[in-house]
Chains A and B, each alone.
Chain A
């Protein structure tokens, strides 16, 4: 689920293992190789840099001007499209949402037409690079808080999630207070059908357990 929230950038093809020529070799293609004239003893007498004819240079410039952008075009055209969005990615988001017509049915498992369309819309938004939270917020903006399992609005969210803890804390406080009050009051038993067996009566746990068990089975 978490990988859905990341924006994926287009990835260029990896050329590190390709058998293309080295950068050096690539430059030699366009480099004018100097012509070296040597004497009888092998000494360098003159170095000439202009060995290619002018017409060749002209054609080369025109060729480069025409086709130099081509590799970029090819690269651009061959840039991988974003990874196809899987059903699992869509369902991971849909599981946090609810069917607008069948209350209580999560969007990822609902078979109604509207839910099928909503799942497709999630897929489209994922393909457009939107994050999970952006997609959910978009649905909430358009259809209201009831389409998500917990409200996105901070106030409603706090109202929903904190209230049971507040009530629960209240229940605990009342419960503990009542128990302490009972404990402190220590009323005299009105009836004594089941007297408490003090632990100190027995030297071992087994004896204690046996006495309590027999009392319970009576």
Chain B
């Protein structure tokens, strides 16, 4: 019954999304309010339908319906209840269903929240969101159905959505005993939150794209679409950032690399839309404030969406193999076609509007030294980063294989050569741009504004040098990163001071009020400065953990000690244990000392998961001692099987690594401030044919 419910709701959602697309377009074309409302209602039904499908699948997972192929693949009788729920996104078809639910949720949210204020754009917003949703539901219905079941037909095993002729049910015991269980790598808290966050980020970028395309299609090319999507963009950007951070944390805890970012193609596939989205968040300010960069912003919105679909395609198609990616599947080619078609349609729409003169800028650059010029420079650097990362992850490997017949890998060496200068340039701009004014800034005035942050930066660098840091590269890196942070703090301070000076008596309460008022009246600007602070803290952590990481690998006998970076690690012995979920654990007992004083007892271990084919899959779980200064990170690499008297450990000291996670929290706080809703205004309230509204302003 659960499978039937799932299949039926998926089919209904597919039909509803298709109907909504056609009705919305036809309604907009003919100016039929009735059809547009009908399209809206059809679009809104997709969410409860997909939610029902998801609930049916979760119910099947919880009740152990192993005749459903997906349930058989991602769970077995030993799988704990908690992981049965998270198994919803544990493999391809289930995660596609979950992805569609998120997309539908965003679409319904945008339709409901913006229906009154942006009625003119709505038919096209419905059309673009629903055509994308229909495509993703179609993938599940026709190619990767999570409700496919196993049947016995004439003694043979058959996987089919519907009941085949002469099919018989397979005994429960046979299926349960052979069920595969969830991939051990996914049995981690970070992996439980990381995919939903990433999906929320990816699917969220659908909304600004749909509004931008709606603006192009309807001809309402004012800033309405930007105002309508500002918050949606920030929310998507925040979730994607959180997804990336949580993915890093998962890699750090589970993959045993000793790091959080390996420049893996799938990591990069998620990083690319974030980079383009960040460029868009900056660039769109120029259009709002100065009426400039209209064509460029459209390209950035398309770029974000395109990068999102490409990332999904790359992860799910088998284009690249990775620890993060799903297996090769039949959805690759349709996804590639969809990605190409959507990108092509979008670009054609932009060029059509541009050639009609509908996307002309309202102002020109008044001066090279102005905030808008520096924002454009920031965009150029973001794009160069995108090009460099795309080239290293996909461009060079795919082209060399296609045309040279040689498969190559561009790894950390390539990325650490190409990207640091670009990141450095971005941090410098982050430190200078907030101090410039819209329109024009003179060099002396900019110099005077920079004076205090530069002095603070120099003091910081001198302190670092006095503390023993001698690498000029590291000092330079810290200088530009801390400058960006000091500028953000200085800007907040200047704002508070200026507002407080309006009052005759200055008290602490007055300054606090000024601070609250400042953030309340321009949440985006001051929330943005908090985000800059978060990026600064992340930068400090990344530099520390990259440039000053120490590592060693040594084999120790019981009682023996290894030394690294002022720490000593003593090996005490090895124990074996069996966990509740039947994984076998080999646990090392080590004592961490510093200057002879015992700091902690760590238990790095290797877990062996028994797979359905009676093989085992090892997973290395680190033992870590965390302080703000650094992480002492120990991995159990090997041991003497017979006597347990010696064991091999890989030890990392990752300085300042925890600042990466703390910076992520600050970034989240700043984004929430920037996205916190203000009172909305009604911008348009009629639906009219697109041809009447070219260049119209509400």
List, in ascending order, chain B residues with CB within 8 A of A164's CB. 384, 387-388, 391-392, 418
Least CB distance from B551 to A in Å reads 8
Query: Is B414 a contact of A98 with CB atoms below 8 Å?
Result: no
Query: A138 CA to B5 CA in the complex, in Å?
Result: 58
Least CB distance from A201 to B in Å reads 12
Q: Which of B537-553 contact A (CB under 8 A)?
A: 551-553
Query: Is B265 a contact of A213 with CB atoms below 8 Å?
Result: no
List, in ascending order, chain A residues with CB within 8 A of B408's CB. 145-146, 151, 156, 160
Query: Is A182 a contact of B396 with CB atoms below 8 Å?
Result: no
Q: Which of A163-186 contact B (CB under 8 A)?
A: 163-165, 167-168, 171-172, 175, 179, 182-186
Query: Is A212 a contact of B365 with CB atoms below 8 Å?
Result: no
Query: Is B498 a contact of A189 with CB atoms below 8 Å?
Result: no
Query: Is B380 a contact of A205 with CB atoms below 8 Å?
Result: no
Q: Which of B409-454 contact A (CB under 8 A)?
A: 409-414, 417-418, 437-442, 445, 448-449
Which chain A residue shows the least CB distance to B648?
A87
Q: Which of A73-126 contact B (CB under 8 A)?
A: 86-88, 91, 96, 98, 102-106, 109, 111
Which chain B residue shows the least CB distance to A198?
B440
Q: Which of A34-82 contact B (CB under 8 A)?
A: none
List, in ascending order, chain B residues with CB within 8 A of A104's CB. 262-266, 320-323, 409, 411
Interface residue B366 (Cβ < 8 Å from any Cβ of A): yes
Query: Is B411 a contact of A183 with CB atoms below 8 Å?
Result: no
Interface residue B404 (Cβ < 8 Å from any Cβ of A): yes
Query: Is A102 a contact of B323 with CB atoms below 8 Å?
Result: yes
Question: B495-527 interface mask toward A, CB cutoff 8 Å, 1 = contact, 0 = none?
Answer: 100110000000000000000001001100100
Interface residue A217 (Cβ < 8 Å from any Cβ of B): yes
Query: A24 CA to B178 CA in the complex, in Å?
Result: 85
Query: Is A197 a contact of B384 with CB atoms below 8 Å?
Result: no
How many residues of A are in contact with the other chain, CB < 8 A? 58
Query: A191 CA to B360 CA in the complex, in Å?
Result: 13
List, in ascending order, chain A residues with CB within 8 A of B262's CB. 104-106
Question: B21-38 interface mask toward A, CB cutoff 8 Å, 1 = contact, 0 = none?
Answer: 000000000000000000
Which one of B8-16, B165-173, B285-293 contacts A? B285-293
Question: B642-681 interface mask toward A, CB cutoff 8 Å, 1 = contact, 0 = none?
Answer: 0000001010000000000000000000000000000000
Known pairs A164-B387, A168-B388, A190-B291; A206 contacts B411 (CB<8 A) = no
Known pairs A87-B553, A164-B392, A187-B364; A109 contacts B387 (CB<8 A) = no
**Nearest 5 A-B pairs (CB), nearest first?**
A149-B411, A196-B439, A87-B553, A104-B264, A149-B413
The contact sample of 27 A-B pairs, CB cut-off 8 A, is A88-B552, A91-B650, A102-B321, A104-B262, A104-B409, A109-B257, A111-B637, A146-B409, A147-B409, A148-B409, A149-B413, A156-B400, A160-B392, A161-B417, A163-B391, A164-B384, A168-B388, A175-B379, A183-B364, A183-B368, A184-B364, A190-B362, A194-B438, A196-B440, A198-B440, A213-B499, A216-B522
> Which A residues are within 8 Å of any B CB, using their own CB?
86-88, 91, 96, 98, 102-106, 109, 111, 144-151, 153, 156, 159-161, 163-165, 167-168, 171-172, 175, 179, 182-187, 189-191, 194, 196-199, 205-206, 208-210, 212-213, 216-217
> Which B residues are within 8 Å of any A CB, using their own CB?
255-258, 262-266, 289-292, 320-323, 360-368, 373, 376-377, 379-380, 383-384, 387-388, 391-392, 395-396, 400, 404, 406-414, 417-418, 437-442, 445, 448-449, 494-495, 498-499, 518, 521-522, 525, 551-555, 618, 620, 637, 648, 650
